[in-house]
Amino acid sequence: MSRLTEDNVRVAHEIISRYPRPRSATIPLLHLAQQQDGYVTNDAIRHIGELVGATSAEVLGTATFYEMFKFEPVGKYLVNICRTMSCALMGGEELMHHAEHRLGIKAGSTTPDGMFTLEHAECQAACTEAPTLQVNYRYRFRVTPETFDALIDDLAAGRLDSEIPAHGTVARIRQHIPAERGVGAVPPEDATNAPSWMTVAEAPK
């Protein structure tokens, strides 16, 4: 599919300008690509390589290290159900069975309408709230078959749109760092002035 759109190229340049070296922007740009298309396309990888001065293979190598970057289309909602110890003890496995029945797919696949992708997850760091799941990395705690069904109904009807953006959007509000607060395109060894956020006020004597 697609390279970054014109608007996103603008964002990309802003992101790149925050770092001393363009390559440092690789991960944020991968997020940007995933936000644009719901997953990271090969064209986007190539485009990011061009923007940061790396080969496509280098970007691919970096990107595939991280599980949260997807390289095939995923549903609008990625549902991760925890299967690690606490959740397993509290019914995580049964919850997954239920989810598979409800959505009509096996874990690791996507509903034909492209709405839901179901995945196993390892510990989501909320053991006290077991069993847990995440929808596009937004938590749901102590999930029962009933609350799961209600969640799916709400998502399908668009009732949770304001809370849970489509897969790929890390945050709806993008941080803008004014140029003077960025490190800028100055490699550390060449920097004459420390950036403002690095200047430490001198301790009172």
Q: What is the binding site for other proteins (CB under 8 A)?
A: 42, 45-46, 54-58, 60-61, 64-65
Residue 93, φ and ψ in degrees, nearest 5: -65, -45
Closest distance to other proteins from the beta carbon of 167 (Å): 21
Closer residue to other proteins in complex, CB, 42/196: 42
CB of 40 to other proteins, least distance (A): 12
Dihedral of alpha carbons 155, 158, 159, 164, sign:
positive
Of 12 and 59, nearer to other proteins (C-beta) is 59
- In angstroms, what is the minimal distance from the CB of 42 to other proteins? 6
Which residue's CB is nearer to other proteins, number 67 or number 153? 67
Q: Phi and psi for 117 in degrees, rounded to 5?
A: -120, 135
Q: How far is the CB of 33 from other proteins (least distance, A)?
A: 15
Please give the distance of CA 186 from its chain centroid, rounded to a whole number.
Answer: 28
Please name the residue that has the structure tokens 């492209």.
Answer: 114
The minimum distance between CB 161 and other proteins, in angstroms, equals: 33
Q: Which is nearer to other proteins, 23 or 97 (CB)?
A: 23
Q: Which ranges of the chain does DSSP label H, i.e. alpha helix?
A: 6-17, 26-37, 42-52, 56-64, 85-89, 92-103, 145-157
Establish how many alpha carbons lie within 13 A of residue 140's alpha carbon, considering only the half-sphere containing its beta carbon: 24
| Cα 38 to Cα 160: distance, rounded to the nearest angstrom | 18
Q: Please, which residue, 5 or 42, has the CB nearer to other proteins?
A: 42
